[in-house]
Amino acid sequence: MALEIIGISQSNFVRTVRMAAEEKGVPYKHISAMPHSDEVKAISPFGQVPVMRHDGLELAESQAIARYIDTAFDGPALIPTDPKAAAPINQWISTAAGSVDQLLMRNYVVEYAFHKDDDGNVVRTKIDKAIKRFPRMFSMLEKAVAPGYLGSASFTMADCFLIPILNATQMFPEGKEHFGNSEILKAYFDQVAERTSFKNTAP
């Protein structure tokens, strides 16, 4: 059975695993499904997207899915095979999927996009708290992409995790402003945005 990636294209984590498949040159079918839909709940214990099906294997969790795609198929390695070279990439995958996603997606983008009061207005409580932490987060990211890519001189799986988050963050005012103030982050983003894997997975 062909690789199936399941989940709405607006999800940064769905985009991450789709980018991984695109980078490997693995053909896949993208099935759009909402978190907590029956199709997703059948695979993910928390009803979260993405989930994946391939050849009898059903899998949840973006890191598990991206690593499966990287190791089960031919194509360029998205994580170096040498343990010492892989270690910092794994560190950045974990940081992007953890702390960076938590602040920029869960506490900022998702709040803007989905959390509205009874009158349909954006609820600023979490957003205002989140943006206080932006200067530190953006300066950390600036240093991290200084080698050209996230913690590396070449494109890796860590970039598949970071770029969808940066793309979504820029869609809202404070994210756009902080991003716009950093030439290094802008150059990094523009370079990765040229890749077919980014273009082919636009929400």
Ligand X SMILES: N[C@@H](CCC(=O)N[C@@H](CS)C(=O)NCC(=O)O)C(=O)O
Task: Report the distance separating Cα 99 and Cα 89, nearest Å.
Answer: 15
77-81 long-range CB contacts below 8 Å, 24 or more apart?
78/20, 78/23, 78/24, 78/156, 78/157, 78/160, 79/156, 79/157, 80/156
Query: Which is closer to ligand X, CB of 35 or CB of 80?
Result: 35
> Cβ of residue 153: shortest distance to ligand X, in angstroms?
26
Query: Which is closer to ligand X, CB of 15 or CB of 178?
Result: 15
Query: Which is closer to ligand X, CB of 44 or CB of 142?
Result: 44
Query: Which is closer to ligand X, CB of 48 or CB of 167?
Result: 48
**Which residues in 59-86 are b (16+ Cβ under 10 Å) and which e?**
bbbbbebbbbbbeebeeeebbbeeeeeb
Residue 44, phi then psi, degrees to nearest 5? -90, 125
* Strand residues in 11-95 grouped as ranges (E): 28-31, 51-54, 57-60
> Cβ of residue 161: shortest distance to ligand X, in angstroms?
9
> Cβ of residue 133: shortest distance to ligand X, in angstroms?
19
Site of interaction with ligand X (CB under 6 A): 11-13, 35, 47-49, 61-63, 97
> Cβ of residue 47: shortest distance to ligand X, in angstroms?
6
Task: Report the distance separating Cα 195 and Cα 148, nearest Å.
Answer: 14
> Cβ of residue 61: shortest distance to ligand X, in angstroms?
5
Question: What DSSP character marks residue 194?
Answer: T
Query: Which is closer to ligand X, CB of 35 or CB of 148?
Result: 35
